[in-house]
Amino acid sequence: MAGRQWLDRALVLAFAAATGLLVVGFTLLAEAASHAFDQLQQAGPYGRWAPLLWTPLLTVALLWFTRRFATGAMGSGIPQVVRALDDDLAPAQQSALVSLRLSLHKIGLVSGGLLAGLSIGREGPTVQVGAGVMVHARRWLSPHSGIDAHDLMVAGAAAGIAAAFNTPLGGIVFALEQLSRRRGISHSALVIASIVLAGLVAVSVFGNQTYFGRLPVQDLPWSLLWPGLLVALVAGLAGGLFSRLIVVSTRGLPDVFSRWRQSHPLRFGGACALAVAVIGIAAGGATAGAGYAPTRALLEGHAELPGVYTLLKFCATWLSAWTGVPAGVFAPSLAIGAGIGNDVALLTGLGREAAIPLIALGMVGFLAATTQGPITAFIIVMEMVSGHAMVLSLMACALLASGVARLITRPMYGELAALLPIVPAPAPGPKAGPAPGAAADPAKP
């Protein structure tokens, strides 16, 4: 029995390593898709106008495939995992939200969205991808392993975050902050080991690098106190408004847009994608994808972005999510937050060196306000900063921005999870047996 228990645990760790490898492959595919869209925009004199046709057409195709074959893959993926962790759901209902098949669909569809030029990220979807891979291990475990689907989904979801952001600690905190509110983790050591292993797989491939590089902040002068507070308040208000827009748009209102989305979802998605394309052209292509390049340019001090970049990125990300295609908002939230920090630095007349700390505060503030997961946001951004000069500032900004957002809206992922349609579980019927006097079917044991 002890040998079988060790085998079960080894099997879980093997699936954790596979999760890390799959997220690495997802990362490479997503980056290739984003690069291909950038090349399209630069192809010839009319390349910058190509998204007006390309983005709506590909978005409609992705939306059609999603609604036809992968309904459970819609959205960011985190609400699906939150809903699947509900113990009241039957296994068949959980499989409609989290499964290996949906994970593979999610990878292809999110990469397709990046190829279309939508303002989306891959980090949130890795939560559903990782959970789908890990929960698949359940069918290979022994009946007496004691490892249930709940622990596997938590491990996989957090492992996805750990591998996506190259931060095992961020994955562990995400599991504790976002996924373990209703019920504890029975095999915490195994879950943590799985998260760390998936993160180490990503580190072994990409090296010990962070998502947006390193932020060279060695000292934080007192002169940045009031600008920093302004960044936290603006990020909290903007993040709360953003998450409320996402929830209200998904729920729908008695207005013409919601009725159009309900009656003609493909046309509505195409119209939203067209609006995203127009915004992208107005921003010089800077709003497409996760926002990696513009954010790096802001941090390095040589960004050539329009003055309304932050607003344009905000609108493009909201409209991209409203299309209904699989889309994450983690990385776009970091890009929007970076824009908020940079805008405050410009408004207060600060130089480039002083702008970098405000950009970091904007990133952690907007992400914390959007997800209402301040500790996860703090860990993710903290690992980008060289040195420990901003540890307390980042933590305070994350908590303040998250608190401001709570005055505007409830936690976004919980609200979206409650809106997910759940197929009723089939009622258990009486067990069928042979009629009295009937001969047994020789083809059935």
Please, which residues have CB within 8 angstroms of residue 117's CB and are 6 or more apart in sequence?
37, 40, 41, 51, 54, 55, 276, 277, 280, 288, 289
Rg (the chain; Cα; Å): 23
Structure tokens, 68:
């036809």
Q: Which residues pair with 328 in a beta bridge?
A: 121
CA distance linking residue 128 with residue 26, whole number of Å: 12
Q: What is the pLDDT of residue 439?
A: 41
CA distance linking residue 116 with residue 205, whole number of Å: 27
How buried is 297 (Cβ within 10 angstroms: 0-12 exposed, 13-18 middle, 19+ buried)?
middle
The per-residue pLDDT for range 213-233, each reduced to its tens digit, is 677 776 778 888 899 999 999
Please say if the pLDDT value at position 331 is more than 70: yes
Residue type, 186: S
Q: Which range has the worst mean pLDDT, 132-136, 349-353, 370-374? A: 349-353
Fold of 215-419: Clc chloride channel (1.10.3080)
b vs e for 268-286, b when ≥16 Cβ sit within 10 Å of the residue's Cβ? bbbbbbbbbbebbbebebb
Domain range list for the chain: 2-206, 215-419
Portion of the chain with pLDDT greater than 70, in percent: 91
What angle separates helix 309-322 from helix 330-347, to the nearest 10 degrees?
160
b vs e for 366-388, b when ≥16 Cβ sit within 10 Å of the residue's Cβ? bbbbbbbbbbbbbbbbbbbbeee
Q: What is the pLDDT of residue 6?
A: 85
| Phi, then psi, of 313 in degrees rounded to 5 | -65, -40
Please say if the pLDDT value at position 305 is more than 70: yes
Please, which residues have CB within 8 angstroms of residue 189's CB and are 6 or more apart in sequence?
none
Confidence bin at 303 (pLDDT 50/70/90): confident
Do 340 and 233 contact (CB within 8 A), yes or no? no
Please tell me the number of Cα atoms within 13 Å of 132 on its side-chain side.
25
Mean pLDDT of the 294-302 span: 84
Helices (H), 283-423: 292-300, 309-322, 330-347, 352-371, 374-382, 391-406, 412-419
CATH classification number, 2-206, choose in 1.10.1040.10, 1.10.3080.10, 1.25.40.10, 3.30.1330.10 = 1.10.3080.10
Query: Per mean pLDDT, which of 171-185, 316-330, 382-396 is the most reliable?
Result: 316-330
Confidence bin at 442 (pLDDT 50/70/90): very low
CATH topology agreement for domains 2-206 and 215-419: yes
Mean pLDDT of the 82-110 span: 92
Q: Which range has the worst mean pLDDT, 38-47, 76-85, 118-127? A: 38-47
| Phi, then psi, of 188 in degrees rounded to 5 | -65, -40
Mean pLDDT of the 58-83 span: 94
CA distance linking residue 147 with residue 357, whole number of Å: 44
The per-residue pLDDT for range 154-208, each reduced to its tens digit, is 999 999 998 888 888 888 898 888 887 656 566 678 888 999 999 899 888 887 7
The per-residue pLDDT for range 4-57, each reduced to its tens digit, is 788 989 999 999 999 999 999 999 999 999 999 999 998 878 889 999 999 999
| Phi, then psi, of 435 in degrees rounded to 5 | -65, 150
Nearest to 250 by CA among 416, 71, 434: 416
Q: What is the pLDDT of residue 191?
A: 87
